[in-house]
Amino acid sequence: MTRVKKKTMDPPTNLSGIVDPEAGPTAPADQAQAQSQPAQIPSSSSSMSDFSCVYFGYGSNLSARTMKQRCPDSLFIGLAELKDWKWIINETGYANIVPSPGDVVYGSLCFLSKRDEMALDESEGVPWLYEKMTLPVRRLLGNVEKSSDWADGGDIQVQATTYVDVQRTTLGKIEREYVIWVKKAIEDGHAAGMPAGYAEKYLRPFLPTDERQLEDIVMVRTTKFGEHSAGIVPRGFASWSRG
């Protein structure tokens, strides 16, 4: 029987996160590779005061680049898998996950500050669109980590916060502007070690096969830090409300 090692994931002391290759117009090419690499996490315990939760992002936030742009304080620590759930596009035209024995969802794993968590709450429409859930995910180890103390004793199980639309679970057609974000998530997920077969089985069937349909799409998301909140709302969400 495989041993499962449950660890408390202490946040690193480096709060700057990882380099975002899209932060400037002429970022070095080697920074793109660095973007997909998880930050080093010390084994020694440290204060959780700077981070409010560990977040599992499975849609556009599967991309570490997107996460760093949307949540400036976030710290990408690698990929994780959520078993017995399935990735879909629901009737809103955006990503959702639903319970599905035997299936799996891959996502990014990030430490979030309270500010970033509040930003995501507003962006995801909590609680009228998505609801926050805490689910057990298994953190995937990189080659270096496999030979470190993190891998000693078995898998790393993490209780992660994620967002689930529990009311709209019917398959839908992906919003055109969201296609670009999903394609970016697939690209960055692969760079971080996501199995190629995962996207082919679960994500690409929702993408249009005719690339000409995407020619006039512009990747735009708005970040608004207003009254202690930040909203990064994909256009189209506003038309959906809980019935």
> Is there a domain that residue 229 lies in?
no
CATH of the domain at 215: 3.10.490.10
Q: Which of 14-23, 27-36, 71-80, 110-119 has the lowest average pLDDT?
A: 14-23
What is the number of domains present in the chain? Answer: 1
101: pLDDT strictly greater than 90: yes
CA distance 137 to 131: 17
> Is there a domain that residue 5 lies in?
no
183: pLDDT strictly greater than 80: yes
> Is there a domain that residue 199 lies in?
yes
85: pLDDT strictly greater than 70: yes
C-alpha of 51 from chain center: 16
Q: What is the pLDDT of residues 204-214, one digit of tens each?
A: 999 998 766 55
Give the domain range for residue 176. 51-222
The answer to whether the annotation marks 58 as part of a ligand binding site is yes
The answer to whether the annotation marks 178 as part of a ligand binding site is yes
> Is there a domain that residue 243 lies in?
no
The residues annotated with a catalytic role in the active site are 124
CA distance 25 to 112: 26
Q: Which of 46-50, 51-55, 111-115, 194-198 has the lowest average pLDDT?
A: 46-50
> Is there a domain that residue 209 lies in?
yes
36: pLDDT strictly greater than 80: no
Once rounded to an integer, what is the mean pLDDT over residues 152-178?
A: 89
Q: What is the pLDDT of residues 185-200, one digit of tens each?
A: 999 999 999 998 999 9
> Is there a domain that residue 87 lies in?
yes
What burial letters (b/e) apply to 91-130, b meaning 16+ CB within 10 Å?
bbbbbbbbeeeebbbbbbbbbbbebbbbbbbebbbeeebb
The whole-model pTM stands at 0.72
49: pLDDT strictly greater than 80: no
- Name which residue leads in pLDDT, 178 or 34: 178
Strand 95-112 with 4-6, pairing: unpaired
> Is there a domain that residue 4 lies in?
no
The answer to whether the annotation marks 130 as part of a ligand binding site is no
The answer to whether the annotation marks 198 as part of a ligand binding site is no
> Is there a domain that residue 80 lies in?
yes
What pLDDT is attached to residue 209? 87
